[in-house]
Amino acid sequence: MTTNASTTPDVNITPNASTAPKKKNFWKKTGFIQELVKNKAMFLMLLLPFTLVFVNYYLPMFGVIIAFKNFNYSDGFLGSPWSGLENFKFLFMSDAAWQITRNTILYNLFFIVLGLIFAVLFALALNELRNKFAARLYQSIIFLPYFLSWVVVAYLALAFLDPNGFFNKTIVNIFNLQTVDWYASPQYWPYILVLINLWKNIGYGIVIYIAGISGIDQEYYEAAVLDGASKLQQIRYITIPFLIPFMIVTVIINLGNIFRSDFGLFYQIPMQQGLLAPSTEVLDTYIYKALIMSGDLGMSSAAGLYQSVIGFFTVLIANWAVGKISKENKIF
Amino acid sequence: MKPKKINESLSLNSISPTTNLIINAAFIVYCIFCIAPLILVFMVSITDQTSLAINGYSFFPSKTSFDAYRYLFNDVEKLLRSYGVTIFTCVVGTFFCVLFTMLYAYPISRKSFKYRNFFSFFMFFTMLFQGGLVPWYIMYTKYLHLQDNIIALIMPAVMNAFYVLIAKTFFTINLPDSVLEAARIDGASEFKIFYTIVIPMSTPVIATIALFSFLSYWNDWYLCLLFINDPQYYNLQYSMYQALRSLQFLTSSLASASGNTTSALANVPGETLRMAMAIIGIGPIIFAYPFFQRYFIKGLTIGAVKG
């Protein structure tokens, strides 16, 4: 882009709307063309990224019509015959629709609640440690899993859960337990997935809350100490109240995304074992599998539209709610 | 982020030594949980295959062997290829991601730009609503013909509304109009201002976005899963994923050489080979991590202040 600099004449020194007195706009026509001429450098800067956003995000939005079509590759988006609400009817009449919706929401609820509790607890504890070097070291180590890809985490999980893995060969012997064929026992997977998700993402939450804690004015604590407040009282009456807006905003934003899930977690960790599907299938994995594995475009796009539309409203509501609590955290 | 400094003179304001000890112990245990899986995978990768079959996965292999690594390095070309694909997408993708994010965020942060609200909305609306996987996938494969094309590993992640939001906020706060106005009066063009003033002033936010973007390209396997069938474009994570799913992927060249898949597979140190593949994949990020995470935390904090 920088090469364009030479082709742009230096006409932009003409006063801009913001700096020139407001009156000037009065007799100046303010059409799109004038703006285009005046700010052509701005438009040039936006050109490529704008095109990319358009192609990547907006063109597919028109494609949602295929949820109402009997799509086939040879006729394409526009040529394929309409099928009305057939796709939705099939989706919602299947057992899958209820199951994947329930799984998606329940998993997210647990992630949100437990993630919040542990991140705040860990951040508070790290903050109180006397040895600051140790605190930083712990934080670095806890943050490490956040950097690993889901593929790597799937390997780590396998090392524990494999029939030959650490659990079945070592832990079983130490505690005298029964061996478990983890990859064929759906009943354990809600716990496993919640644990793994916490393990991977808790470091991120800690960073956010530690940043929040370090923003608290020290004078509050000094005053509290003079009044004879104990450490626990300080945490309860100073630190936590300061963090509450943070917590509420985080929770609401996460609630706004309750219909989306981390595809990697649900696709990689259970290793696509069919037996586990009842407890590990979520909307995102269902949509992927219907598209790629069974090639059921109609069902897949109907589920995708269902997710997008409900997701749209939850994000809007969440954003509105965030605005009520703290204006500066509002996204729109 | 540095933990806050507590005024040492206020003795009441620190936890008792016993509490301190308990909290430390709890964190040490938790930290072991964070690292142990990595160590386990490494230990399995250097365990002898037959002793593995008897004793299972263990932190203390009864017999060590580097057969698995020897095996992988027999086929080093495949490994280097996937490293090459990953490094290429990381470098090119991060470059364009940073450049385009800056180019998009700068105009929409300027009050003098009349259509800034439209363009902001255009970007941020993508956080609200998306067409979904199916139309997007069909567009990439049927209309843009990007299947088995390395562009498909780069293009989808170049523009991200969240990064634009971070950069826009940074510009709004840190780039006063007066500075830009002064440059304009000196006769600098908008582009000259952009690369002589705006870019040098925004190193913190550039570093943040570059790190976020680099890590997401490095850890990507999803785009590869969707769009790549040709093994020569497999990136590192996807090769690891393939290795996790099937030993055949690791041993395909051997099998085709001997013409007999089963007999070739019989001699392969199967499980240890998988774990060796994981170690080779994890390696670089673990070594880069101590450097990485400091800046990452800074970046997260920039993003979180108004994220």
Taking the C-alpha atoms of residue B192 and residue B189, their distance in angstroms, rounded to an integer, is 5
Instruction: Specify the pLDDT at position B285.
Output: 85
Instruction: Specify the pLDDT at position B62.
Output: 83
Map tokens 């072991």 to a residue.
B32
Q: What string of DSSP letters covers A267-320?
A: HHTTTT-GGGHHHH--HHHHHHIIIIIS--HHHHHHHHHHHHHHHHHHHHHHHH
Question: Of A144-153, A156-165, B294-303, where does the model show the most confidence?
Answer: A144-153
Average pLDDT for A183-205: 95
Instruction: Specify the pLDDT at position B252.
Output: 52
CB within 8 Å of chain A, chain B residues 9-48: 10, 12-15, 17, 19-20, 23-24, 26-28, 30-31, 33-35, 37-38, 40-41, 44
CB pairs under 8 A between A and B: 349
Average pLDDT for A244-273: 91
Nearest to A142 among B30, B112, B128 (CB): B30
Instruction: Specify the pLDDT at position B250.
Output: 65
Instruction: Specify the pLDDT at position B267.
Output: 57
Residues with Cβ within 8 Å of residue A282, at least 6 apart in sequence? A100, A103, A104, A107, A261, A266
Instruction: Specify the pLDDT at position B249.
Output: 66
Nearest to B304 among A144, A211, A291 (CB): A211
Q: How far is the alpha carbon of A49 from chain B, nearest alpha carbon, in Å?
A: 5
**CB distance B135–A164 less than 8 Å?**
no
In the predicted model, what is the mean pLDDT of chain A? 87
Lowest model confidence (mean pLDDT) among A34-38, A304-308, B123-127: A34-38
Q: How confident is the model at residue A29 (pLDDT cuts 50, 70, 90)?
A: low
Residues with Cβ within 8 Å of residue A329, at least 6 apart in sequence? A249, A322, B306, B307
Taking the C-alpha atoms of residue A24 and residue B51, their distance in angstroms, rounded to an integer, is 85
ipTM of predicted assembly, 2 dp: 0.88
Lowest model confidence (mean pLDDT) among A20-29, A157-166, A170-179, B192-201: A20-29
What stretches in chain B show pLDDT beneath 70?
A: 1-13, 247-269, 303-307
Q: Read off the pLDDT of residues B9-31 as tens digits, 9 standing for 90 and up.
A: 445 567 888 889 999 999 999 99
CB within 8 Å of chain B, chain A residues 75-114: 76-77
Stated pTM of the model: 0.87
Q: How confident is the model at residue A266 (pLDDT cuts 50, 70, 90)?
A: very high
**CB distance B13–A228 less than 8 Å?**
no
Taking the C-alpha atoms of residue A265 and residue B195, their distance in angstroms, rounded to an integer, is 40
Instruction: Specify the pLDDT at position B113.
Output: 87
Cα dihedral sign, A71-A77-A78-A82:
positive
Instruction: Specify the pLDDT at position A322.
Output: 86
Average pLDDT for A194-206: 95
Instruction: Specify the pLDDT at position A228.
Output: 87
CB within 8 Å of chain B, chain A residues 129-188: 129-132, 134-136, 138, 140-145, 147-152, 154-160, 162, 164-166, 168-170
Which residues of chain B does A124 touch, with a Cβ-Cβ cutoff of 8 Å?
Answer: none
Is pLDDT above 90 for A16?
no
Is the CB of residue B118 less than 8 Å from the CB of residue B234? no
**CB distance B129–A308 less than 8 Å?**
yes
Is the CB of residue A73 less than 8 Å from the CB of residue A85? no
User: For chain B, where are the alpha helices, taking DSSP H only?
Assistant: 17-45, 49-55, 67-74, 76-109, 116-128, 133-138, 151-154, 161-174, 177-185, 190-193, 199-201, 203-218, 222-227, 236-245, 247-258, 261-266, 270-305
Q: How far is the alpha carbon of A187 from chain B, nearest alpha carbon, in Å?
A: 23
